[in-house]
Amino acid sequence: MIKLIVNGQEHAVDAEPDTPLLYVLRNDLGLNGAKFGCGLGQCGACTVIVAGAAVFACLTPIALLLGRQVTTIEGLGTEDAPGPVQRAFMTEQAAQCGYCIAGMVMRAQALLARTPDPSEQESRNGLNPNLCRCGTHMRILAAVRRAASLLRAAAPTKAAAQ
Ligand code: FES
Ligand code: FES
């Protein structure tokens, strides 16, 4: 048994230590937001956040995750109460087939946590590991801009808090 902390909940998983996190999320924990695209770290459809960094779940063995917080798209919000980045993607209608979108949202979430007001180039660079075969890149970039302002508005500045 390997203990994983996913979206704040601890799970005891009966799997080999070298099992990719993506398989455990989808097959054992019923978290199907992260998608299997290439399985090779080349598309980003499987992106989740581990200890604040966006990672490819298809390449991450669960043995590396002991004691580390894993966040999936399900951890950002719900259908009724989506998180700010999810809301921004919906408002900008930043999806066609939608296959890449959970990964894009997670990559954007990690980017905005470390760079709250990214330039266009920083957003492009930050999202670069993730691919969208439908070509919704301009809408995705608009969603990142919108998400950044939603997150900044939700986080009062130090000065305002004093
Ligand atoms: S499925 Fe993980 S990068 Fe493509
Ligand atoms: S919306 Fe279809 S792959 Fe991105």
Mutate to test the pocket of ligand 2, among 134, 139, 141 (most ligand atoms within 8 A of CB): 134
* Of 20, 18, 113, residue with least CA distance to 60: 20
| Ligand 1 contacts CB of residue 39 (under 6 A) | yes
Q: What is the pLDDT of residue 138?
A: 97
Give the model confidence (pLDDT) of 2-26 as tens digits: 999 999 999 999 999 999 999 999 9
Per-residue tokens: 48: 């989740």
| Ordered strands of the 9-13 beta sheet | 9-13, 2-6, 69-71, 47-50, 53-56
Give the model confidence (pLDDT) of 34-74 as tens digits: 999 999 999 999 999 999 999 999 999 999 999 999 999 99
Q: pTM here?
A: 0.94
| Ligand 2 contacts CB of residue 98 (under 6 A) | yes
| Ligand 2 contacts CB of residue 95 (under 6 A) | yes
Q: What is the pLDDT of residue 157?
A: 56
